[in-house]
Amino acid sequence: MAGDASKILQVAVIGAGAAGLCAARHLASKPHLFQPHVFEKEEQVGGTWIYTEDVEKNKYGFTVHSSMYKNLKTNLPKEVMAFPDFPFDKTLPSFLTHQQVLQYLKDYAQHFDLNKFIKFKTCVDHIKPVITSSKENQVIWDVGFRGIEQSSDDIETQQFDAVIVCNGHYAEPQIPNIQGMSSFHGNIVHSHHYRHPEDYKDKNIVLLGAGASGIDVALDIAPCARRVILSHNKNPLVSALPENMSQAPGIKYLKDNKVIFKNDQEEEIDVLMLCTGYKYSFPFLSPECNVQVIDSRVTSLYKHAIHTQFPYLSFIGICSVICPFPQFDCQALFIMSILDGSQQLPSRHEMEKDIEKDYNWRLNDLQFPNRYAHRMSNMQWDYNDQLCMMAKVKPISRVVPSIYDAVHHHRVNHLMGYKTDEYEITGPDTWRKIEPNK
Ligand code: FAD
């Protein structure tokens, strides 16, 4: 099908969060080649940026998707967060509220006239390849979906030439197995369900995990809680922390209302909050799609995006520890260059060799644990450049990594202050403290 100019490719996009919107925006820019059909189970665009007070199920009985909490401010500044072709409003501060990011995504959808492609309140139930020729990538895709107000028997099916999966990966909590959990006397919650610090007033709380969420939520809770302990296996945070916040090693076990850390320190606590991340989940992909998730590794995806057996099944947003919106843009353009035939993929065998090489390099050279198969951090810029080069499109501006690195450095040393309006980013490596009287 690729390269057949007489045929407009019908492309199903699953999800209208930042990734799905970005896919739709680029597909829609070539109407002679592509027709996007976006499926979104929420009532509006924005995905994880749609804050809700609901924590378990929404009013339609669906599991709550968003992990946003009331006071969340972005941990990336707007200067690097934006899609390359759609800057944030200049009058906004560098670090944004979730409402401001949601508004940005709504503005993006409106600016590129994307809402007309989106079927809202429509949940994708299943996706299945239907082989149309002996060549294995010659398939069409059955996409089964239903209105969220309809019964689960009311599934409609439509066929598409290609599918781009953009369903996010911060919706299904990863729950570790800790000895003593089932008989623990206190509350155990996951950060996915965290909404307000007031719910933890005067509580003694341990947050397990010092990723971005663990640190940010601990700092948000500290002004209300009696005591906050951040338990993790990383090097201790170097920044100053609130007076009632301390750090401890990982948890050895739980007993009654006590947590026993790996250094045998014991603390009586009211709440254990698991800031232990999320699982990749694609409940709608049928077994025939041949997508496996093993130890947080989604296989087999060439360049973390293209299914090696079915190149017309692709994914945006699988990587972690990234600057998401700019990377989504690179991935969308990369996928489109395959769909429109302007880029020829290597053979399936070559692609699988490339994946194994990348994975083994992570495990052996970088000494990453298995679950870091899609973790990017400072590798993201080369990866983005590679996608852009292969897709023959303009790479992301060099200014983005410079600002990203500067913010990271500043954050590590000033966890309590780096998001406030006391600081202003004045250039790639420059940061100015704003004097209060100026
Ligand atoms: P999502 O936003 O999760 O969107 C996926 C969409 O798919 C949802 O709308 C969902 O309803 C829909 N969907 C899922 N399954 C189905 C189905 N079966 N049928 C139909 N629709 C479906 N990024 C930053 O750049 N800066 C930050 O400061 C930042 N802070 C963050 C803080 C938190 C707490 C979290 C959780 C994430 C943060 N991120 C941040 C990362 C954020 O996830 C990305 O920026 C980005 O919004 C992810 O977009 P996405 O489209 O991949 O996923």
Residues near 199 by beta carbon (within 8 Å), at least 6 away in sequence: none
416 close to 219: Cβ distance less than 8 angstroms: yes
**Cα dist from 172 to 29, 45, 192, whole Å:** 33, 19, 8
Distance CA 206, CA 215 (A): 12
Q: Which CATH architecture has domain 175-274?
A: 3-Layer(bba) Sandwich (3.50)
pLDDT band at 4 (very low <50, low <70, confident <90, very high): low
pLDDT at 382 > cutoff 70: yes
Per-residue pLDDT reduced to its tens digit, 348-366: 999 999 999 999 999 999 9
Distance CA 137, CA 278 (A): 31
Check if 137 has its Cβ closer than 6 Å to any atom of ligand 1: no
Mean pLDDT rounded to a whole number for the chain? 94
288 close to 129: Cβ distance less than 8 angstroms: yes
Distance CA 22, CA 166 (A): 10
Other C-beta atoms lying within 10 Å of the C-beta of residue 193: 16
Residue 170 Cα to ligand 1 middle (Å): 6
The pLDDT of residue 426 is 66
Residue 124 Cα to ligand 1 middle (Å): 16
Check if 190 has its Cβ closer than 6 Å to any atom of ligand 1: no
* φ, ψ (nearest 5 deg) of residue 140: -115, 165
Range(s) of the chain covered by CATH 3.50.50.60: 9-171+278-391, 175-274
Residue 20 Cα to ligand 1 middle (Å): 10
Q: Which of 76-85, 127-136, 186-195 bottoms out in mean pLDDT, i.e. has the lowest?
A: 127-136
Distance CA 134, CA 186 (A): 58
The residue type at 314: S
The pLDDT of residue 430 is 63
335 close to 316: Cβ distance less than 8 angstroms: yes
Check if 204 has its Cβ closer than 6 Å to any atom of ligand 1: no
Distance CA 406, CA 412 (A): 10
Choose between 435 and 205: higher pLDDT: 205
Which of the 8 DSSP states describes residue 434? P
Q: Which of 116-125, 134-143, 289-298, 428-437 bottoms out in mean pLDDT, i.e. has the lowest?
A: 428-437
**Is ipTM over 0.95?**
yes
Q: Find out if CATH 3.50.50.60 is the number for domain 9-171+278-391.
A: yes
Check if 65 has its Cβ closer than 6 Å to any atom of ligand 1: yes
Q: Which of 48, 66, 164 is the pocket-test mutation for ligand 1 (most atoms within 8 Å of CB)? A: 48
The pLDDT of residue 3 is 44
The residue type at 65: H
Q: Which of 111-125, 287-301, 323-337, 419-433 bottoms out in mean pLDDT, i.e. has the lowest?
A: 419-433
pLDDT at 246 > cutoff 70: yes
Residue 19 Cα to ligand 1 middle (Å): 8
Distance CA 319, CA 381 (A): 12
The pLDDT of residue 152 is 81
Distance CA 222, CA 204 (A): 10
Q: Which of 3-17, 77-91, 194-208, 345-359 bottoms out in mean pLDDT, i.e. has the lowest?
A: 3-17
Per-residue pLDDT reduced to its tens digit, 325-353: 999 999 999 999 999 999 999 999 999 99
pLDDT band at 438 (very low <50, low <70, confident <90, very high): very low
- Taking alpha carbons only, the member of 4, 40, 72 closest to residue 146 is 40
Residue found by looking up tokens 């940026």 in the block: 49
